[in-house]
Structure 1
């Protein structure tokens, strides 16, 4: 094969995003303003929720959700053991305790059958992660929980994903999305909260802006230039800029197109790689519309001709960028030390940590790129 260079992911941006940013720059309104407000409105409408609140990242979105829910010292929050570290970190930020739940290696998502055994009288919430864009069955999760336990969606990877025709972000009490460049749509950095709880939305909106009782728009556009907000709560500066909001609007308009293209090529991968017996392909239930933030394989260590890491090195030499799916948080040194954990404590998460491999799938790839990746995988013996 003639060598190609194929990135694991590339943001699909172009002239529309450049012109949108230019418009914001020329307007003079660069911080949070009308473009962010419009992005929030359209994002909420797309995902079928009442409220959307733009932030600086998915991490800060999750942090705002927990703080607004009153979660703090003495509380426990259930977290899947296989996820990006931020999902657990934000529980620690609040002084609460993350309680890990193992995952199902077939889906990489939380093992719903293991939830009930982790619930105590201190459990205040569960964070379900729609990993790589595959929605968790939140209705089934709720059946395992006492009614007072809040369900929070870490939908970092799941903009536009659906289960039973309901969008990610509309399934739990609140959800957090990411617009990092590896996501299906991007604003560079940035995040979004969605919720149908009006009171929670009001609290998070205040917390996002230092705890101010009135918004920046009210201050700057109102008839009383001397007006300053009162502060009754301790808040944060988690505001998105209008530059990012402008890019977000352009990207959101392309989300459906991006997902359809990713779904088509994910199906191609599944069809042409099905005969490789050591390769575990993603499983997608019939009632789920996967958004395919990433296409993640499972390398069977008992059957594969080499280890996952050796395979990644070989593909790298061919110009194909790969990554582990993500990491098992209980295997990270901070959490191992903090909670006296061992690698073997969560075998499903450990298996995913050691054996998952994301291969390139993004909206900048063409048919020749996909064929090159397939050929490279078929040549591994």
Structure 2
């Protein structure tokens, strides 16, 4: 079976975790600080704060941005449910907006949904494709809104020649195994604001005024205070040690993923019944996923295609979910009409993409897909 994805973890990553375990400091400590400093440097941000996952990163970002009960935050429905959930966690309401052909927020539709209750825009860089950050920053200035970037999928992606992570005040990353680099699970918030940085560090560790490492290294007895109600959203040093090694390979991993995407492009570009993912000038995707769209003249349904590929030994996934169609969000007070988002979900599939993929695997996927298009009714045989 060719999987849809798998993390690129090698012996040096395992050894980093091994040596950290033997060091005796396994929770948040020196490796977390090192990972934060190196990640900030990589993205070009002034500060980075490591947390337990990207959902907690989004939650804390909502808090420091001042989002609260009754506020509205505009975001795409076409995103993993954690995007909208993070808004609900602070008592605010997600307002779902339409996406464009690049799977990212449609700025015209977003502007149409701004009202007196709107406090922020949550811009998702979907499947690694950067959104138009500058345009949304200008929109936020015009309407006095906060901009938060959900960059869960976008580590290593670039916008106008600069890595995602330093363009706005709050940018949230994921290190889940489906992402470009992984720490098992984990997240990071980058920011250029010192006040946000200091409060984020407090909130991730129960609002504790003095962290464990400072107290441990002090030659005097000191006692911590808990300044505000916080959370246990810490990353461990074991995870951070792996993250440091993963970060060293990030540019190389992105290059490899882009090479695989190009092979897909070249192999599938002549199929008139599908639309391949694209990039605008000045945007560089890390290709966290490779999504193809099936036009109306595609010879079989999306689900039939997925099943036939599975029977051939190729795992796929459906198009990106629409949160407003999930049970947890079906009882929204306002009716949601997002025809493009729904169409992209129903007519798209994600093809396998991971490092390392062999040329034989990639060509087998391309060949199988072409064969199913040319002869969709031919019975499948196992691989």
TM-score when normalising by structure 1: 0.96
1:115 equivalenced with 2:110 (yes/no): yes
Superposed CA RMSD: 1.1
1:349 equivalenced with 2:345 (yes/no): no
Which of 9, 13, 27 is the aligned partner of 1:13? 9
Which of 181, 187, 198 is the aligned partner of 2:183? 187
Alignment of 1:312-327 (within 5 A): 312-327=306-321
The whole-number CA distance in structure 2 between the counterparts of 1:182 and 1:339 is 33
Alignment of 1:268-307 (within 5 A): 268-300=263-295, 302-307=296-301
1:60 equivalenced with 2:56 (yes/no): yes
The whole-number CA distance in structure 2 between the counterparts of 1:379 and 1:97 is 46
Q: 2:5 aligns to what SS in structure 1?
A: coil
1:237 equivalenced with 2:232 (yes/no): yes
The whole-number CA distance in structure 2 between the counterparts of 1:273 and 1:293 is 19
The whole-number CA distance in structure 2 between the counterparts of 1:100 and 1:220 is 46
The whole-number CA distance in structure 2 between the counterparts of 1:247 and 1:253 is 10
Deviations 1:201-230 (A, max 9, x none): 1111100000111222111111234x2311
Alignment of 1:216-255 (within 5 A): 216-225=212-221, 227-255=222-250
Tell me the residue number matched to 2:381.
none
Count of aligned residue pairs for this structure pair: 372
Alignment of 1:205-216 (within 5 A): 205-216=201-212
Alignment of 1:251-270 (within 5 A): 251-270=246-265
Alignment of 1:43-82 (within 5 A): 43-82=39-78
**Segment drifting more, 168-177 vs 247-256:** 168-177
- 1:57: how far off? 0.3
TM-score when normalising by structure 2: 0.95
The whole-number CA distance in structure 2 between the counterparts of 1:82 and 1:36 is 32
The whole-number CA distance in structure 2 between the counterparts of 1:96 and 1:156 is 21
Where does structure 2 lack aligned partners over 5 or more consecutive residues? 374-383
- 1:136: how far off? 0.4
Which of 142, 165, 170 is the aligned partner of 2:166? 170
